[in-house]
Structure 1
Amino acid sequence: MDLQTIKASLQELGTKITKGAEEISAKAIDESTPQEELQSLDKAQKALQERYELLNAQKEELERSASMRLGNSQKNEGGTQQMDALQAKATLIRSAINNRPVTPEVRAALGDDNGTGGEKLLPKTVSDQLIREPGVRNPLRNLSVYSGVTNLEIPRIDFTLDDDDFIADGETAKEMEAEGSLVTFGRFKSKVLVSVSETILAATDTDLVAHVERALQDGLAKKERNVAFAKTPKEKEKHMSFYSGEVKEVTGASMYEAIKKAIADLHEDFRANAKIVMRYSDYLDIVEKLANGNSTLFMAPPEQVLGKPVEFSDAAVDPVVGDFQYSQFNYDPATAYETDKDIKTGMNLFVLTAHFDHQLKLKSAFRIAKADVTP
């Protein structure tokens, strides 16, 4: 008997049991009803109840079995899909290194939206994973805006008021007048090279994909961090650095005073969402001086000590204070790959070519805090 038939029978039995109970109640009230008739009705009612309980137990067992089959099916399907994607990634890497064409089936498993299949472009799902899941620490991943739009253009500020005297912050107004109201992102090439030994190439799909993806993710994150905090940036990457000389510097007698003054120097619209990126060693120096032998300050969260949330990075030689929603990285979705061989080491190289840009949408939203080291 199938589940639907059992449910229908249960409904019918339930109706009979309800009517039987009502009939027994009516007969019991009537003193003229013989005792034998009442006993007969009660016996029939108990029989119906037993049948109902037996069928209900069967129904619950069938539903439990169906639920377990569905769960196992979904689990198996999920595992198969995951393994298919893993195998596809491994096949793509091995095919590239061995100069074999990548089959349409592999690209389809990776969600490729590259119509021709001729270019060595990574499928979008893979590109997104490489950009979104780094292992190398890059504090800007927690602060800045990230996007993936070709030839992106965005307004420097999200809104203006028709009765405003342009913009309340004078520095922002000057910046808008000098640089225009639009921010245009360029395409600056960056290559990340991953060494793949013969043993890794022959390893399991899981080990191969994990090795290559982690190295590519870390390489991109490190490149972002390097260009954003470059003290002497390359000419074409100068606009990407907080230390390009275009962000206002605020000086204090000590690092602590410089950071306080930098926060206060921000316009209130930026100050409300301001955060600090600085070296951990500089923070420890500040705490040590403020504590003056009292160890409890070392246990306080950095936000409580400096007044704003803090992200640590050894690359931030001078603390950067500001509203980091005005820092944005944009990647061109067409992330490509190629391969080569290092003749000196015999290592295979899997090379990722990414195009990205980092723009400070409003430089007036940031300050560089510098301690006065003049003797």
Structure 2
Amino acid sequence: MKTLYELKQNLTTVGAQLKKTEDSLASAAIDPNKTTEDIQQLQKSRDDLQMRFNVIKNQHDQMEKEQQERIQQQERANLSSSPSNPAEQKVQAKANLIRATIRQQAVSSEIRAALGDENTTGGNKFLPKTVSTEILTEPTTRNPLRKVSTITQITNLEIPKLNYTLDDDGFISDTETAKELKLTGDVVAFGRHKFKVFAGVSETVLNGSDANLVSSVETALNSGVAAKEKKVAFTTTPKPGEEHMSFYASGVKQVSGINKYKAIKNAIADLHEDYRENATIMMRYADYMDIIETLANGNATLYSAQPEQVLGKPTEFSDLAVDPIVGDFEFSHFNYDLEALYERDKDIKTGVEQFVVTAWFDHQIKLKSAFRIAKEDATPEV
């Protein structure tokens, strides 16, 4: 017996053949070069394909109806035997959300209520707020910027670039900051830049345990979100309109040195003391090991030292940080819009379902004067 997926494929194939034959018949009917026999043959082919299409469609519709009834019965059984542990209840609700989305069914009000969504009508396509928050603002720590940058989830966010002001306009002692505020204003408004994250879900995982399904999807989505954040923040060739998100393309000041170690030291020293105090270094691990190898000069003890002991400031590593970035990353701010959408897609070639989250976010470097890019310059220092 054919599966529902196979019937869908057959329905698509026969439907395409039927459409092609109908188009050929319509063309033949007005073509004086076509004989009556040609047209009759096309009519026969069309009628044969139409009959096949109807048979497959009836089988497909009946099997789909039976599957939906089984799913609804299972959901009712799941809800009636819902675990008493709140954490397990949330996992079960998330699993039901993922399955309903992939199967293109409405998400029940019971599932939304279990996920803490205020909208219990089940009529919209917005990601329940608790799921959206966990995916977008609490992913795994694969993005080192999340350890030091600010992460929020607020629609139409506007915030001051500095956390405090004084009644005296001359209170800013850093002249670069004062110039930047005068040039760009003292408020930053976050925009909405759309991106999609796809989580592949096989039939085995989809029909497996709630815990495995939720873990598989959330891990994929978390990894996708972290990868997108790193890409926009560290790219040297941003998309048009996304230049402000990149440390390398937004106009952050560059400070050079005869090697990366000297460049980092010079960049730290070049920061104003207001930012130097809380500065962190973001760099590639390979560059750090090159520095260690140069400084150690055969002394193995330096290899076991903490990066902060070697470079003088806390250090995070990312292979995308082609030139070290030094600064107060409190002024690196990621904001997500609340209205994340969820939907499904399918890879026809593999049959793997895709749970898709569409989100809007922005990365603002609130004050470029809070950062320096350490650039290696082989030219000897004078």
TM above 0.5: yes
Instruction: Specify which of 256, 268, 271 is matched with residue 266 of structure 1.
Output: 271
Q: Partner of 2:358 in structure 1? A: 353
User: Does 1:295 find its partner at 2:268?
Assistant: no
Distance in 2 (alpha carbons) for counterparts of 1:78 and 1:303: 47
Q: Superposed, which structure 2 residues align to 1:82-121 within 5 Å?
A: 82-114=87-119, 116-121=121-126
Distance in 2 (alpha carbons) for counterparts of 1:96 and 1:158: 42
The answer to whether the 8 Å contact 2:143/2:230 transfers is yes
**Equivalent AA in structure 1 for residue 324 of structure 2:** P
**Deviations, residues 264-289 of structure 1 (Å, cap 9, x unaligned):** 00011000100100001100111111
**Deviations, residues 181-225 of structure 1 (Å, cap 9, x unaligned):** 110001111100111111111111111111111111111011101
Q: Partner of 2:319 in structure 1? A: 314
The answer to whether the 8 Å contact 1:139/1:311 transfers is yes
Q: Partner of 2:182 in structure 1? A: 177
Distance in 2 (alpha carbons) for counterparts of 1:130 and 1:163: 43
Q: Secondary structure at the match of 1:200?
A: helix
The answer to whether the 8 Å contact 2:244/2:250 transfers is no
The structure 1 segments of at least 4 consecutive aligned residues displaced by more than 4 Å after TM superposition are none
The answer to whether the 8 Å contact 2:258/2:379 transfers is no
Q: Partner of 2:143 in structure 1? A: 138
Cα displacement (A) at 1:135: 3.2
Q: Superposed, which structure 2 residues align to 1:35-54 within 5 Å?
A: none
**Equivalent AA in structure 1 for residue 256 of structure 2:** T
Distance in 2 (alpha carbons) for counterparts of 1:144 and 1:262: 19
User: TM-score scaled to structure 1, two decimals?
Assistant: 0.77
Distance in 2 (alpha carbons) for counterparts of 1:309 and 1:248: 20
Instruction: Specify which of 151, 157, 164 is matched with residue 156 of structure 2.
Output: 151
Instruction: Specify which of 244, 247, 264 is matched with residue 252 of structure 2.
Output: 247
Gaps of 5+ in 1: 1-76
Cα displacement (A) at 1:347: 1.3
Q: Partner of 1:50 in structure 2? A: none
Cα displacement (A) at 1:328: 0.5
Distance in 2 (alpha carbons) for counterparts of 1:333 and 1:356: 9
Distance in 1 (alpha carbons) for counterparts of 2:143 and 2:190: 21
Q: Superposed, which structure 2 residues align to 1:158-237 within 5 Å?
A: 158-165=163-170, 167-237=172-242
Distance in 1 (alpha carbons) for counterparts of 2:193 and 2:144: 21
Distance in 1 (alpha carbons) for counterparts of 2:343 and 2:148: 31
| CA spacing shift, 1:318–1:79, aligned 2, 3 Å | farther
Cα displacement (A) at 1:115: 5.4
Cα displacement (A) at 1:341: 1.2
| CA spacing shift, 1:125–1:177, aligned 2, 3 Å | same
Moved more, 104-113 or 236-245: 236-245
| CA spacing shift, 1:160–1:133, aligned 2, 3 Å | closer
Distance in 2 (alpha carbons) for counterparts of 1:257 and 1:374: 12
Q: Secondary structure at the match of 1:165?
A: helix
Q: Secondary structure at the match of 1:236?
A: coil
Q: Secondary structure at the match of 1:340?
A: strand
Cα displacement (A) at 1:131: 2.3
User: TM-score scaled to structure 2, two decimals?
Assistant: 0.76
Q: Secondary structure at the match of 2:308?
A: helix
Cα displacement (A) at 1:373: 3.8
**Deviations, residues 115-171 of structure 1 (Å, cap 9, x unaligned):** 543221111111111124433611111000111111000001122222342522111
**Equivalent AA in structure 1 for residue 258 of structure 2:** A
The answer to whether the 8 Å contact 2:135/2:222 transfers is yes
Q: Superposed, which structure 2 residues align to 1:5-84 within 5 Å?
A: 79-84=84-89
Alignment RMSD (CA, Å): 1.8
The answer to whether the 8 Å contact 1:233/1:241 transfers is yes
Q: Secondary structure at the match of 1:293?
A: coil
The answer to whether the 8 Å contact 2:341/2:358 transfers is yes
Q: Secondary structure at the match of 2:357?
A: strand
**Equivalent AA in structure 2 for residue 87 of structure 1:** Q
Distance in 2 (alpha carbons) for counterparts of 1:356 and 1:109: 26
Cα displacement (A) at 1:81: 2.3
The answer to whether the 8 Å contact 2:127/2:340 transfers is yes
| CA spacing shift, 1:337–1:235, aligned 2, 3 Å | same
Distance in 2 (alpha carbons) for counterparts of 1:258 and 1:79: 57
Cα displacement (A) at 1:78: 8.1
The answer to whether the 8 Å contact 1:136/1:222 transfers is no
Q: Partner of 2:368 in structure 1? A: 363
**Equivalent AA in structure 2 for residue 299 of structure 1:** S
Cα displacement (A) at 1:344: 2.0
Percent identity for Structure 1 against Structure 2: 61
The answer to whether the 8 Å contact 2:325/2:371 transfers is yes
The answer to whether the 8 Å contact 2:127/2:339 transfers is yes
**Equivalent AA in structure 2 for residue 146 of structure 1:** I
The answer to whether the 8 Å contact 2:102/2:353 transfers is yes
Pair member with larger Rg: 1
